[in-house]
């Protein structure tokens, strides 16, 4: 192996390590934090709202969750449209199946 191929292998390993570090950060830090915020919003905050403002709070929560649902739905639709028949993943898969390699 030449020194250039060693550098390429090192760069590939560094990229994979960076991806693994981001995945570990998401699994250990961000996702539990978001579950805690969700618990705070759904369970603990309604307990602190005065009784005369519960109806307003429920309407605001409904509006917020509706917005989140629309955003997630549109994001999923855009992702599916992006991974349509012209996507490079599908083209590579078709090429592998066609050539049998």
**Is 63 in the same domain as 87?**
yes
Cα atoms in the 13 Å half-sphere on the side-chain side of 14: 6
The answer to whether residues 57 and 46 touch, using CB atoms and an 8 Å cutoff, is yes
pLDDT recorded at residue 87: 60
pLDDT recorded at residue 95: 60
**Is 7 in the same domain as 31?**
yes
Full residue range of the structural domain in which residue 39 is found: 1-48
**Is 69 in the same domain as 101?**
yes
d(CA 49, CA 18): 43
- How many domains does the structure of the chain reveal? 2
**Is 68 in the same domain as 98?**
yes
pLDDT tens, residue by residue, 4-61: 777 888 888 888 888 888 888 888 888 888 888 888 877 888 788 888 888 888 888 8
Read off the pTM: 0.43
Confidence check: pLDDT of 89 > 60: no
């Amino acid at each position: 192996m030449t020194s250039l191929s060693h550098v390429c292998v090192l760069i590939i390993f560094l990229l994979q390590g960076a991806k693994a570090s981001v995945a570990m950060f998401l699994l250990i830090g961000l996702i539990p934090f978001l579950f805690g915020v969700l618990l705070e919003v759904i369970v603990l905050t309604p307990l602190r709202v005065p009784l005369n403002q519960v109806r307003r709070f429920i309407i605001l929560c409904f509006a917020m969750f509706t917005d989140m649902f629309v955003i997630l739905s549109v994001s999923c639709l855009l992702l599916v449209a992006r991974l349509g028949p012209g996507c490079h993943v599908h083209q590579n898969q078709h090429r592998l199946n066609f050539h049998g390699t």
